[in-house]
Amino acid sequence: MIAEADVKSDVEILKADLDNPKHASDIVRIVDLFARDPMGQDEPLDEEVRVDMIAEMKKIPTTMTYIAYMGEKALGIVTCFTGFSTFTASKVFKIHDVAVHPDARGMGVGTKLLETVEREAEEMGCSKITLEVREDNPARRLYEKKGYEYGDPKWYFMTNEVKN
């Protein structure tokens, strides 16, 4: 169990160094916890994914992951990539994963991670930040509170599995 924290003073957000073994291990652990959650895939990551995740992330030059730490304990991560909007001819910050340790949810860790991403996107000159969220994910309340919108008309996220 994680002790109740004063997130403003006790939690520090670091930009992950994917070559740092602790950062890499913490990212995989938090993503695996998220994968086990019903809002993830409701099962652990495959061992192959756990082993390959960081090496594959390093191959994508726009990968940015931020880790929330309370002391040495990782409480959450947000992984983002920069993209490009042809409509605005500008960079876009794409949030791929927001994952908070189950014992730290509701403490403000997700808010602090999003605020870090918002500052980074502004400093990079991005025109917007995008994210995808399940319809039944309670984190939608946080995203709505932070000003994220569904679009008008409403946008849908679609997938098509690639067989390789």
**Whether the predicted pLDDT of 3 surpasses 90:** no
- Residue 8 has what pLDDT? 74
Report pTM. Answer: 0.92
Q: Is it the case that residue 36 has pLDDT exceeding 90? A: yes
pLDDT of 12 reads 96
pLDDT of residue 124: 95
Contacts by 78-83, CB closer than 8 A, 24 or more apart: 78/113, 78/114, 78/116, 78/117, 79/27, 79/31, 80/117, 80/120, 82/124, 82/126, 83/130
For position 154, what pLDDT does the model report?
84
Q: Where are the alpha helices (DSSP H) in 38-155?
A: 47-58, 109-124, 140-145
pLDDT in the model for residue 152: 84
Residue from 106, 101, 31 nearest 69 by CA: 101
Query: Taking residues 19-33, what's their average pLDDT?
Result: 98
pLDDT in tens, 58-81: 999 999 999 999 999 999 999 999
* CATH (residue range 7-145): 3.40.630.30
pLDDT in tens, 83-139: 999 999 999 999 999 999 999 999 999 999 999 999 999 999 999 999 999 889 999
pLDDT in tens, 133-152: 988 999 999 999 999 998 88
- Residue 15 Cα to chain centre, angstroms: 12
Give residue 155's pLDDT. Answer: 82
**Structure confidence at residue 6 (pLDDT):** 76
